[in-house]
Structure 1
């Protein structure tokens, strides 16, 4: 989730106490009408826009937002160009972002929002969710529990016990965000969310006092040198890996500049370089499209398509997954299912369909429970695996329990997880850029070690923007494919030798760090959902252990990070929430 965020500006402009949940430039620009007399003076020339200004100034509750949507709907019906022109003008006039960011981001995303508004029926679940996502107003609507993915009855089977055999090694990388325009010597202290580029003459090498180093900076996305350094480290530290997984986001975060051609080139070249890892199972990231987060379901009527991105990923992944699965990537919205040589079935699921910022989901007059029949497809793949006696890993980008996920979709996904919990050995994500996990429960009103049923492993990122560059290694039971240990390697970007040659080193392992505290020291013992629940219980009672965990979220980059009791309660709640409605 890396759209340019100016939440502090928004809160100042809006004067609202409600926490805003999304920070894209388009939303900020619409919101920035509020409490600005200069905007009123300029915009009174246009009665429609003046009405928008008045309505936004009155935004304090959900009903006011619904009223605003009526006016925005009128603006959208004037056409995409008119809608975009007005919002760009506001963005630039009120200095929400740099002029090029305003015109670029809104030019890309604005037509989708205008399309939504033209289709939307005000006062429905869809419009309520739109207000929630775009303005931070309205409460989450209740989950529609009347819908459920169609599944056969759950058999009386349980997850197999650990085999005790020599474990496999599997590497997990995520959110590499490669910036092909990264320029050594360009300023890392710029006015945009992604720096180390020659945006202006003042940013160019030799013209600034904050030159970017060879291997990246915390204000910048990943240079090729850092990516290649990680691959070399993986070859050195994990030469015996069975395979690797990559949970998405190839493309850098300058979202206002991305085009179809740029994303295609980024995907093509990144997957060519990634071949050095050997067999790698990849997923579709929310940044791996243009506009970012743009994943229209099958039945949306639009000329804007993401098919070209699916085709590029299909081509890039074919050497790893074979021609049949690669064809499925193209025809199945970036998702595929394949059986690894080890016997494990890998299901790569495009979870970005259910991301709040996928604005194509607001197209319908009534809410769509299963866009593009992706849940039905997932159930079919799991049923095939169950019938064949296969174990499964599900790979996705956005965690389905994250606050970014639509509550309904998260609930339906968890129903599937609970039904097939004897077949699914683990779920793996990226997106948050943090070192995290999520626990699923059979009963969310009674969260105990005995009701913990499934683990989601959320990998930290390579990009330096969110902490020290990192990758994970899993010790995996070769029969059950359960996770026996998680080891994290990192390179410290504050080291004095980092810009000369990054040193990749051991950061921690889960079993070394927490095992003895929870009575789990056997190297062949699985890190079960019960283990992870007991770890969250330990966090509640031992604050030192919890604060160490907080430091590891950024891979020890922010060593001064701390989390008070309110923060701690929220964090543990998030760790125990594979359904986003409980997050």
Structure 2
């Protein structure tokens, strides 16, 4: 095929798919053909880069330019998908559309050495409708608001469940007998954490060999720091190790200390310290955990170019190994976070040709969880085939449903094709089937996922998840758990939307968002456990523990001290019956206090960040301005509307 024939075929294909050709602009098709008679990959790349560049000098709006770029890219992806990364990387870098580093990370082809997503971008283009909802959604979320946020499709999943019976609108009464469940989240192990590396760096991730501070030295407390030891946990005990001379490198202004820093992810020694504190607390207080939940994120936040396949696998294996070692026979039910995949944030549907790119991770997790005795063969097999999602019934009869929230993650390219359809991954079908079955058995359910549905997910799945929760609450859904934000938070679902609807009469359900072990960014490491009613599996209280990381900077290499922070029942000074669980009505009262009182808002912020030195002053700064909106919004659209109305 000649280059002329190639472009003619491409334009015909575009006309058939979209209703109009997309090869148009300053030059018409004939001029492009005449300018590139030599048919080779280089000339094709040059032709498409020229066409993309011409859009910026056209009369098209930013939204029209973005959509047209997608359409041009789709035409190429259907005939020469391997050239899409080259074309878009070259266009992006040569026009300065984004920084060179971001252009490469976003559009360059995938390799095992770096988590670039250009291949996933090409996959998405081959499937999506650029001129429909898909394109509008992409251009809003992935192109910095180039298009306005499109109206969320008015679809429903109500045909997938039976009519709600009156008894299912009432939560069962607690028995006042309890057991304990551990909740940990967001370890984000920094495998290349280096004592003595720059902890006050200019880039996003510090404390690594490549961290540098090119701005200024604003660390006024550096001269007080003395915890620079090659310490470790060996044979289940802490070994202080030898002192490291970190001041040999005069270019390092704030040397990283042994146990971590507020602009760094967690070194393995901090992860082991957190797990050791859990095991020691359990032993000292004769408190046993029936099981534990882990709500995702094992891999660190380092740059895409430094995030490799090998590092991703190693991070996942090391953290789960450490959890198993410290928690021994306690079953752990886990979900995967947005960092727990490769390339970062990506996950493809099973039935459209790209699932094999990601099946390695589900197989690794299923094998590991089964080997550790956390899942049985049937649950492991389901996790292997369904994006690491599964359901398991605990020995007390509670059903735990684990979901992979990457299927709805706004950075996942595969979520942007056929985006107006409610369930391209089939995960809602799985969730609803499990809930219908449990409802028919009068069985209570916990739902686990990583990303809360009012942040960092796409609007339609957020809306549909809220619909599912409303249908099966409060009788079947006992609790919902997330991680991701690194903050100690909660969210409330109301039966109707709008600020006027946030009343105690409209409360439906709430979720628990767990604090993180990683200090990144500006938080103290933390974990919690719940006292859970034996009969209803409602949470009666939550006990939160933390370590003041800044105290480890000046403790001459001693172990961190993990201490009790607060209990959720007593911490907010809310009048609440001792026999009642901490349900959505309780959290509505807390949210109302936060909305009405700067002091209550400050208390929430203190808990959210675990009294870190970086907690904002709610009376003087805007750092707390959106707290109430976040806590009382269960969907993306609700949060956007709340923030918009308050601003």
In 1, the alpha carbon distance for the partners of 2:62 and 2:627 equals 27
Matches within 5 A, 1:295-444: 295-302=347-354, 305-318=357-370, 319-364=373-418, 367-400=420-453, 402-421=454-473, 422-444=475-497
Distance 1:194 1:439 in 2: 33
Which residue is 1:264 aligned to? Answer: 313
**Which residue is equivalent to 2:596?**
541
Aligned length: 533
- Residues 428-448 of structure 1 show CA distances to partners (whole Å, capped at 9, x for unaligned) of 000111111111122224221
Distance 1:86 1:561, change over 3 A: farther
CA RMSD of aligned residues (A): 2.9
Structure 2 residue runs without a partner (length 5+): 1-44, 110-115, 215-244, 640-647
What CA deviation, in whole Å up to 9, does each residue of 1:394-429 have, x standing for no partner? Answer: 0001112x2312211112111211111111110000
> Which runs of structure 2 are paired with 1:223-262 in the superposition (5 Å)?
223-239=267-283, 240=287, 241-254=289-302, 255-262=304-311
Q: Does 1:454 align with 2:466?
A: no
User: Structure 1 runs of 4+ off > 6 angstroms?
Assistant: 90-93, 200-205, 563-567
TM-score (norm 2): 0.76
3-state secondary structure, aligned to 2:550? coil
After the TM superposition, which of the residue ranges 376-385 and 550-559 deviates more from structure 2?
550-559
- Stretches of structure 1 lacking an aligned partner (at least 5 in a row): 1-44
Contact 1:298 1:371 (C-alpha < 8 Å) held by counterparts: no
1:91-102 → structure 2 map (5 Å cutoff)? 102=104
Cα distance between partner residues in 2 of 1:103 and 1:148: 36
> What residue in structure 1 maps to residue 148 of structure 2?
139
Bigger shift: residues 430-439 or 67-76: 67-76
Distance 1:449 1:527 in 2: 14
Higher-Rg structure is 2
Per-residue CA shift, 1:440-482, capped at 9, x if unaligned? 1222242211211111100111111121111112221121111
1:154 to 133, 150, 164: 164
TM (normalized to structure 1)?
0.84
Whether 2:531 is the aligned partner of 1:475: answer yes
8 A Cα contact 2:605 2:616, kept in partner:
no
In structure 2, how many angstroms separate the alpha carbons of the residues matched to 1:399 and 1:229?
27
Cα pair distance change 1:414/1:498, threshold 3 Å: farther
For residues 360-414 of structure 1, the C-alpha deviation after alignment (integer angstroms, 9 at most, x for no partner) is 12234x63311231111111111221222211110001112x2312211112111
Distance 2:256 2:100 in 1: 21
Hey, what's the Cα distance between the residues in 2 that align with 1:465 and 1:498? 23
Q: CA 1:543 to 1:200, structure 2 compared with 1: closer, same or farther past 3 Å?
A: closer
Q: Please list, as runs of the form range in 1=range in 2, the aligned pairs for 1:95-134 lying within 5 A after superposition.
A: 102=104, 106-107=108-109, 108-134=116-142
Measured against aligned partners, the alpha-carbon deviations of 1:334-356 in whole angstroms (never above 9, x if no partner) come to 11101111221111111210111
Residue 528 (structure 1) aligns with: 583
Out of 266-275 and 197-206, give the one that drifted further.
Answer: 197-206
> How far, CA to CA, are the matches of 1:73 and 1:230 in structure 2?
48
- Residues 209-240 of structure 1, C-alpha deviation per residue, up to 9 Å, x if partnerless? 33222111122211110000001111122342
